[in-house]
Structure 1
Amino acid sequence: MKQYTAKEVENFLIEEKALNIIDVREVDEVANGKIPGALHIPLVLLEFRMNVLDQSKEYIMVCRSGARSGRATQFLETYGYNVINMTGGMLAWEGKVE
């Protein structure tokens, strides 16, 4: 499984790289803030919403600590998606939130 640290993702955003970030946390968790521009798809709904994702794009998966996003990464990889887990999750995130 490919991985980025929270700091690497933050630096990509500072460099204004176009990123496709998916936040798989629950609704109440996201209400406390998410990475700007991240698409919110709770992990329990990912199987039903993966059809909105473009298999030609790269996605960075985010959760609270990195465990759920790791499961999401493995799940999507089995369907041929290009996904990367953000290790440490939002607990390690020091960048801006919306």
Structure 2
Amino acid sequence: MAAPEEDQQIDELITRLAIRFPHLTSRVVAEVVRGIHREFDGHRVREFIPLLVERIAERHLSRRVSYCSSLVHHDAPSLGELSARSVALSPSPYAPPRW
């Protein structure tokens, strides 16, 4: 595979993954993909490198999104906490909760 063709496939991969992972900036996706692609520098057989880069990048980005979302959800109050807060804020047990 010629280098320009491989570079074009990597650029297309970045575009696809940026769409698939909208919670990450396209810059982050590009950095991850290009970093993984650099790991294959010097390999003589280039035919499957874009496919390998795609699979590795998908796993890496999925873990990154999962980790970030777990941080966001960990800091957010649970439904039980919200219910307890609304009951504590209501002036009487018969009054509707204030949202």
TM-score by length of 1: 0.23
Structure scoring higher RCO (CA < 8 A, sep ≥ 6) equals: 1
Structure with the bigger percentage of strand = 1
Structure with max Cα Rg: 2
Structure with the bigger percentage of helix = 2
TM-score by length of 2: 0.23
